[in-house]
Amino acid sequence: KIRRARFAVKANLSKHLYGELDLNFANGILELNDAYLQYDFLNGLNTRVGNFKESFSMTQTTTSRYIKFMERSLEVATFAPSRHIGWETSFSGKKFLAVGGIFFHEIEDAENAIYTEDNNKDFGRDEGISLTGKFVYQPFNHKDHYGLHLGVAYSYRTPKTSVAPGEWGMARYSARSLSNINRKKYLDTDLIANMDYESFTNIEMAMFYKGLYLQSEIMNNNLIRKNNLETLNYGGFHIEGAYMLLGGRQVYNKGEGEFTQPDFGRK
């Protein structure tokens, strides 16, 4: 299996304006990943609009090139929102990062696009809305040697139309194997009717010291249902670590609140 086959164009269109277009061709299926314009005010403040990952989970927003393991953890793959059409603004201060955005439906493939159109055409449904925010406290960050990341994120999510019309207003949570090749679902709630909205929270903790890296997330989801039905609660967590045995250092991107490509040239 070809897990990923990507082609991307990234360009500085002016001093303040940046654009990105990222396509995935894996297994002969064309998918639109990132497609957005970003305006940088050059004082730690920037805003972007288009299709991109919501700033909810560090593990989710970190590009697949730089995650420490072959796949992301199961609770992140199951609960953390990924790419959606939206508008987001972030501000990176001396010791903190604050991000907030509004998001709509998912652009994944032709089938999802048809679902969105049919839900609107046949039933008059809007595409759904999500409000996602994140705050990261960075008490110290000496980029060459050590740093600490403490974050909390929240996302309010109404039903989206990028599902089959008969499944609109329903929730479903499932987790496959840690290996992408094994498509067997080991956990699956099946369809849960009467969804009103979802309320996601996530706590992030990460640190690095030279070549050492430790990171953990605790994720929780409350599914609020209509008709006075009981609220359902789901969640999970992971802890991961890595160390560069042959020298080098971990690199933390303060402005994005995530780890990027390690530096192999320094001890």
For residues 123 and 117, give the distance between their C-alpha atoms in angstroms, rounded to a whole number. 10
Backbone angles phi, psi at 213, to 5 degrees: -140, 130
What does the pLDDT read at residue 105? 87
For residues 56 and 204, give the distance between their C-alpha atoms in angstroms, rounded to a whole number. 10
> Are 111 and 117 contacting, i.e. CB atoms less than 8 angstroms apart?
no
The residue with tokens 């509004």 is 102
The residue with tokens 């004082």 is 43
> Are 21 and 15 contacting, i.e. CB atoms less than 8 angstroms apart?
no
CA dist list (Å): 7 to 10, 11, 63: 10, 14, 14
3-state class (DSSP) for residue 46: strand
Per-residue pLDDT of the chain (267 residues; tens, 9 = 90+): 888 899 999 999 999 999 999 999 887 888 889 999 999 998 899 999 999 999 999 999 999 999 999 899 989 989 999 999 999 999 999 999 999 999 998 887 778 889 999 999 999 999 999 999 999 999 987 767 899 999 999 999 999 998 999 999 999 998 888 888 888 888 899 999 999 999 999 999 999 999 999 999 999 999 999 999 999 999 999 999 999 998 899 999 999 999 999 998 754
What does the pLDDT read at residue 266? 52
